[in-house]
């Protein structure tokens, strides 16, 4: 492991804005802030938004800066990646942003019923072969329902045509209220200061001429959700960039993710 990554891990241990509860820590210690995020972590009242799979935390930080009356939590398991956003929050004293390093499969263990107002899912792996791992599958939607307030909103921003179509079908099949939907966010004229916040990953796909898709939906219930068929959805014909790739170049051959 490189010295730079080791330093980032050490920094994450010292950052007040970052909590690290991977599965083994969660099982051995539990989590002390369930139902108490505003009181004991943020030390201020405010509606709470989660960014799931936050990566470097660009969305979390930008949202917190733009909306000081709300509180934001970025969630990811990659501590060295999350370090970028946590460092910015720590150095600039941004009081309404925090980070949680854990597996999203355990996300329902960290919040009380109704504690979360909104969820952003930004550029997740579409998991084209395993529907139970998709962050918009019925499995995860039901999990979110354990802590999302009644009427709370789930937003998906993705470059993946496959995941966008799958999520649209799931919302329609289960009668969710669709608040916004577009398969070309920047070409549709629907982009606003919130939806046009760009992550590093988003910049990769925009540089290749890929269209960014967005669906904002409000589940009207979480019982007996039906899983849509995805066998007939065309698979994405491109793959993610390898680590350290210069995404201003367009020399990567097409391949499934």
Which residues, 6 or more positions from 30, have their beta carbon under 8 angstroms from its beta carbon?
Answer: none
Residue 222 to residue 30: CA distance in whole angstroms: 26
Which position has the token pair 């470097």? 56
Residue 101 to residue 82: CA distance in whole angstroms: 8
How much is the CA Rg of the chain, to the nearest whole Å? Answer: 18
Backbone angles phi, psi at 26, to 5 degrees: -60, -45
Residue 97 to residue 50: CA distance in whole angstroms: 10
Q: Is 125 a catalytic residue?
A: yes
Residue 102 to residue 91: CA distance in whole angstroms: 23
Active-site residue among 11, 108, 117, 125?
125
> Within a 13 Å sphere around the CA of 150, how many CA atoms are in the beta-carbon half?
0
Residues facing residue 50 across a β-bridge: 73, 119
21 by Cβ neighbours in 10 Å (0-12 / 13-18 / 19+) ranks as buried
Which residues, 6 or more positions from 234, have their beta carbon under 8 angstroms from its beta carbon?
Answer: 161, 162
- Positions annotated as catalytic residues are 125
């Amino acid at each position: 492991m490189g010295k730079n990554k080791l330093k980032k891990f050490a920094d994450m241990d010292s950052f007040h804005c970052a909590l690290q509860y991977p599965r083994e820590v969660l099982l051995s210690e539990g989590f002390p802030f369930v139902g108490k995020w505003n009181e004991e972590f943020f030390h201020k009242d405010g509606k709470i938004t989660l960014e799931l799979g936050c990566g470097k935390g660009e969305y979390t930080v930008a949202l917190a800066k733009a909306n000081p009356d709300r509180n934001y939590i970025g969630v990811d398991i990659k501590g060295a990646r999350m370090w970028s956003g946590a460092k910015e929050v720590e150095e600039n004293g941004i009081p309404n942003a925090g980070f949680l390093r854990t597996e999203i499969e355990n996300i329902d263990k960290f919040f009380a019923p109704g504690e979360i107002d909104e969820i952003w899912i930004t550029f997740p792996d579409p998991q084209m072969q395993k529907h139970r791992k998709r962050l918009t599958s019925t499995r995860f939607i039901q999990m979110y329902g354990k802590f999302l307030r009644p009427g709370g909103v789930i937003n998906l921003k993705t470059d993946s045509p496959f995941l966008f179509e799958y999520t649209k079908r799931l919302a329609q099949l289960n009668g969710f209220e669709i608040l916004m939907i577009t398969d070309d966010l920047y070409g549709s004229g629907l982009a606003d200061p919130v939806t046009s916040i760009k992550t590093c990953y988003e910049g990769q796909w925009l540089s290749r001429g890929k269209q960014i898709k967005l669906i904002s939906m409000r589940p009207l219930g979480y019982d007996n959700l039906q899983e849509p068929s995805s066998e007939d959805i065309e698979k994405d014909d491109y793959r993610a960039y390898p680590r350290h790739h210069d995404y201003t170049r367009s020399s990567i051959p097409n391949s499934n993710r």
